[in-house]
Amino acid sequence: MSKQIHLVSFLINSPINHTVLSWAAPGDNRLEALHDLKLWQDLARTLERGRFDGIFFADTPGVFDRYRDSYADAVKYGVCWPSLDPVVLLSALAAATTHLGLATTMSTSSYQPWTIVRQLGTIDYLSGGRAGWNIVTGHLRGEHRALGLEQLDHDRRYDRADEYMEVCYKLWNSIKPGAILADREKGVFADPDKVEFIDHQGDFFSCQTVAPVPPSPQGRPVLFQAGSSGRGQQFAVSHADVVFSIQPNVPGMKRFKANLEDAARAAGQKAPGVSFGIQPIVGGTEEEAKRKLDDLVERLPIDGCLARLSGTMGVDFAGMELDQPLADIETQASQGLMKAFANIEGDKPLTLREVAIRWGLAVGKPQIVGTPEQVADRMEQIWRETDCYGYNITPTVMASSVEDFVDQVVPILQKKGVYRTEYEGTTFRANLGLD
Ligand SMILES: Cc1cc2nc3c(=O)[nH]c(=O)nc-3n(C[C@H](O)[C@H](O)[C@H](O)COP(=O)(O)O)c2cc1C
| Pairing state between β 206-209 and 188-190 | unpaired
Distance 246 CA to ligand 1 centre (A): 10
Does residue 43 line the site of ligand 1, with CB under 6 A? no
CA–CA separation, 309 and 338 (whole Å): 10
Burial class (CB in 10 A: 0-12, 13-18, 19+), 1: exposed
The H-or-E segment that residue 199 falls in is: strand 198-201
For helices 335-342 and 302-313, the axis angle rounded to 10 degrees is: 120
**Interatomic CA distance for residues 419 and 107, integer angstroms:** 31
- CA of 209 relative to ligand 1 center, distance in Å: 30
Average pLDDT value for the chain: 96
Pairing label, strands 131-136, 101-107: parallel
At 87-103, the pLDDT tens digits run 999 999 999 999 999 99
Q: Is the CB–ligand 1 distance for residue 392 below 6 Å?
A: no
Pocket of ligand 1 contains residue 227 by CB under 6 Å = yes
Q: Where are the domains of the chain?
A: 6-164+214-431
Report how far apart, in Å, the C-alpha atoms of 236 and of each of 62, 135, 212, 229 are: 25, 9, 26, 10
Q: Is 107 in the pocket of ligand 1 (CB under 6 A)?
A: yes
Look at residue 344 in the predicted model and tell me its pLDDT: 80
> Quick one: which atom of ligand 1 is closest to the CA of 225?
17
CATH placement of domain 6-164+214-431: 3.20.20.30
Mean pLDDT across 411-428: 98
pLDDT in tens, 226-280: 988 999 999 999 999 999 999 999 999 999 999 999 999 999 999 999 999 999 9
Distance separating alpha carbons of residues 313 and 139, to the nearest angstrom: 9
Strand partners, 106: 135
- The CA R_g of the chain, rounded to the nearest whole Å, is 21
Nearest residue (CA) to ligand 1, atom 2: 226
* Cβ 137 under 6 angstroms from ligand 1: yes
Determine the atom of ligand 1 nearest the C-alpha atom of 338: 25
Atom of ligand 1 nearest to the CA of 232: 26
Task: Determine whether the shortest distance from the Cβ of 252 to ligand 1 is under 6 A.
Answer: no
- Phi and psi dihedrals of 96, rounded to 5? -95, -5
CA of 411 to the centre of ligand 1 (A): 32
Helix H or strand E encompassing 261? helix 250-267
Spatial distance between the Cα atoms of 235 and 257, rounded to a whole number of angstroms: 15
Write down the pLDDT at residue 347.
73
The predicted structure's pLDDT at residue 1: 58
Cβ of 277 less than 6 Å from ligand 1: yes
- Atom 20 of ligand 1, nearest CA residue: 334
Q: Which of 274-288, 331-345, 397-411 is predicted with the least confidence, judged by mean pLDDT?
A: 331-345
